[in-house]
Amino acid sequence: MAQQIRLKNEEAEIEDLTEFLIKAGHGVKGLSETELGDLPQQYIQPQSERPSCMKIMDESSIPIIDVSNWDDPMVVKSVCDAAHKWGFFQIINHGIPLEVLENVKLATLAFFSLPPEEKRNYFKHTSPSNHVRLSTSFIPEAENALEWKDYLSLFYVSDVEALTLWPAVCRDQLLDYMRMSQVVIKPLTEVLMKGLNINEINEKEWSAMTGSKRINLNYYPKCPKPELTVGVGRHSDVSTFTLLLQDDIGGLYVRAPDGENWIHVPPIPGALVVNIGDALQIMSNGKYKSIEHRVIANKINDRISIPLFVNPKPSEVIGPLEEVLKESGEKPKYKTVLYSDYTLHFYRKNHDGKGTLEFAKL
């Protein structure tokens, strides 16, 4: 990120964007609150990444699946078909109480409402741990154009660690949610494995698929020129799968199965969005697909979303599962990779659609 760019508007003169966003702890939320009329040039995305270049399919929708009975063969089929064809679906009647979800959203708002002097302590160079990291955009050091988002990223190791390290203003609500999320994570993993003809999941496979968790609190403040920038650029998640809780504003788009168009993911009260990540695409040898998605910025409203990334353990070596190769007779499409190498590769570059997967392709 350029260091010496001057931003001017009637209210504010910001000497140095990095200083303002990160060192002083304002983030892009603080920038939005200065009510600047123009977008700082660092946020201007190339034409091809702007919303005007998106072909949007209004009439289409990702599947909405009632998962009140995970054992129902129709539910199993709907989930596995959706993971194969769409890589994205919404689940309703999932068993996580509405109150728990509402508390997570309130806790997210509470964290971002902290004064900048407090938030600055969580940015990379001042955070007490690399398991707690507040950032703005995605990886400013690696990006050609910034994204209009702040996010707190929390890597879960244990309740004891989280109670010590995670910000007090949101930790209890997030831990409650993480605990409750098992009522989705366990049956969802089992169902997805059934679709690969794996009916018993051994200890090693659980760890390979769900051994680590990361929760991000995303804050997209309102933006003076949403047509010139993005909330999050095109990417696929590097997780096994992600459970995404969004508020009622909207703005998340996923790539349609035709690979060209984009489809909006409408907020549904109480629902969770599920998306397949790269790790599961690799383990299923491409049967389940991680899908490109992006968020457009909003001129009028702030928006929050909370992805819970369910991942392999960083120390896990992942590759196409033996059972999948045996059952299908297919050749592996991906090599085996150390999961932390894969994640680091993702964290060292711009969002680039499904570019991260090239790292594992044979």
Ligand X SMILES: COc1cc(/C=C/C(=O)SCCNC(=O)CCNC(=O)[C@H](O)C(C)(C)COP(=O)(O)OP(=O)(O)OC[C@H]2O[C@@H](n3cnc4c(N)ncnc43)[C@H](O)[C@@H]2OP(=O)(O)O)ccc1O
Q: Which residues bind ligand AKG (CB under 6 A)?
A: 216, 218, 232, 237, 244, 246, 252, 293, 295, 305, 307
**Does 237 contact Fe ion by CB under 5 A?**
yes
Residue 292 and residue 167 in contact, taking contact as beta carbons nearer than 8 Å: no
**Could you say which of 95, 250, 286, 314 contacts ligand X (CB under 6 A)?**
314
- Of 78 and 229, nearer to ligand X (C-beta) is 229
Nearest residue (CB) to Fe ion, 237 versus 316: 237
The answer to whether 215 and 243 have CB atoms below 8 angstroms apart is no
Nearest CA among 352, 294, 231 for reference residue 55: 294
Among Fe ion, ligand AKG, ligand X, none, partner that 344 touches (CB below 5 to 8 angstroms by kind): ligand X
Q: Which is nearer to ligand X, 76 or 306 (CB)?
A: 306
173 binds ligand X (CB under 6 A): no
Alpha-carbon dihedral of residues 224, 225, 230, 231, nearest 10 degrees?
A: 20
Per CB under 5 A, the segment of 16-24, 147-155, 166-174, 237-245 that binds Fe ion is 237-245
Q: Contact at 8 Å (CB) between 112 and 219? A: yes
Binding segment toward ligand X, per CB under 6 A, in 36-44, 103-111, 229-237, 352-360: 229-237
309 sits near ligand X (criterion: CB under 6 A): yes
To Fe ion, the closest distance from the beta carbon of 133 in angstroms equals 17
Whether residue 149 contacts residue 136, with contact meaning beta carbons closer than 8 Å, is answered with yes
Count of residues interacting with ligand X (CB under 6 A): 26
What is the closest distance, in whole angstroms, from the C-beta atom of residue 220 to ligand AKG in the complex? 7
What's the rounded Cα separation, in Å, for the pair 60 and 262? 9
Contacts of 162 (CB under 8 A, 6+ apart): 154, 156, 171, 174, 175
Tokens standing for residue 105: 């959203």
Q: Which two tokens stand for residue 165?
A: 């390290």
The phi and psi torsions of 242 (rounded to 5 degrees) equal: -125, 135
**Contact at 8 Å (CB) between 195 and 80?**
yes
Residues 188-227: x where in contact with ligand X by CB under 6 A, - otherwise, as a string: ------------------------x-x-x-----------
DSSP string for residues in 59-82: T----EEE-S-TTSHHHHHHHHHH
Q: How far is the CB of 347 from ligand X (least distance, A)?
A: 4
By CB under 5 A, name the binding residues for Fe ion: 237
User: Where along the sequence are the contacts to ligand X (CB under 6 A)?
Assistant: 130, 133, 135, 138-139, 151, 153, 155, 212, 214, 216, 232, 235, 237-239, 277, 309, 311, 314, 339-340, 343-344, 347-348
